[in-house]
Amino acid sequence: MKIGFDAKRIFQNSTGLGHYSRTLVTSLALHFPENKYVLFAPKITNNFHANNFENIATISPTNFIHKLLKSIWRSNWVKKDLLKNNIQIYHGLSHEIPVNIFKTKIKTVVTIHDLIFERYPHQYGKIDYEIYTRKFKYACKHANSIIAISEQTKKDIINFYKIDAKKITVCYQSCNNIFREIVSEEEKKRIKTLYNLPDKFFLTVGSIIERKNLLNIVKALKILKQTTNIPLVVIGNGKEYKLKVQQYIVANDLQNDVIFLSDNEKINELQSFKNSIDFPAIYQQAVAMLYPSTFEGFGIPVLEALCSKLPVITSNTSCLPEAGGNAALYVNPLLPTEIADAMQKIYNNKTLANEMIQKGLTYANNFTQQKTATAVMNVYKSLC
């Protein structure tokens, strides 16, 4: 088969959608090498190197107008390039497919990660909400098949957009295999020095937006500080909500207890930080991963942590019990006292922490790259 992908996120996104896209395409190329995979990318960056794979090609807009209006090329004009390159299946990796692509007779698949904007429209601007709704609904209606990354997302697609369940397949995502590798002590020391990490710390990863719930994590840290003084390292960035969190930090004298790695200009310039290559060495030095998000499509940092032998504290809501299984400690994300209690348990109870680590490694085997690639390939084959 010759399979095309909307590759914008592969090259231009350094967070969840980018990680999903890069990991999936890499997994397909490695485990199903007999196929040809073509990345249709508005812009090429160093976030991914297609030339490392013999069966992955990259195509970008070539004429002046297409280069000038890359977003229109991606959402519409790319159809000509798909036909020119004899693409049999086109996979929209993040919620959208080109307008009227069904007229080309090319089969289409779209991955829907979540419908969080439908659940929490107040957290989005009116224009953004309208654009997302239009794109997501169109993709769900016109794609030949829909991939949902969790049972929760499948339920939301059915409930919000009234899509037939038979059209939707749940294909869990995997994470980069670098999180499964044991980092040497020498490398840990190098990363600790490079990032100026404390000896012990809790870790949280993700965009600093309201539903990621950093404010309640910081409130939990304040509670914990009464008995245990361990700082929090934050990987991620944000705007308005981050300012709200920072105001709380200053008001409660926690400036030395919360470390925002993205606030360090030198760190932000590191390619190994942008593409997450250094993350396993950071994960493997943490006490626990804190991920008490109020709602997620899947929650890839949970899986990354399980693979990294890192205990996980996450929410008892949405899809997060799917991501953490029997390996995580679950809390009400709206209660800082519960988050603080879970932090205290993991830090003080080494037996519990070790049990969680072992359960995490076992549970993470449900989400290997081979299993993910096979599930997605079965969707492709069902369309042929």
* pLDDT given for residue 19 in this prediction: 86
* pLDDT given for residue 148 in this prediction: 97
Rounded distance, CA 9 to CA 110, Å? 14
- CATH numbers and ranges of domains, the chain: 2-174+368-382 (3.40.50.2000), 177-366 (3.40.50.2000)
Per residue in 59-75, pLDDT (tens digit) is 999 999 998 999 999 99
Within the chain, which residues score under 70 in pLDDT? none
* pLDDT given for residue 338 in this prediction: 97
Task: List the alpha helices (DSSP H) in the chain.
Answer: 8-12, 16-31, 64-68, 70-72, 78-84, 116-119, 126-142, 151-161, 185-195, 214-224, 240-251, 265-268, 271-274, 279-283, 300-307, 320-324, 336-348, 350-364, 369-382
Paired residues of 221 in beta bridges:
none
* pLDDT given for residue 142 in this prediction: 97
**How close are the terminal C-alpha atoms of the chain, in Å?**
9
* pLDDT given for residue 123 in this prediction: 82
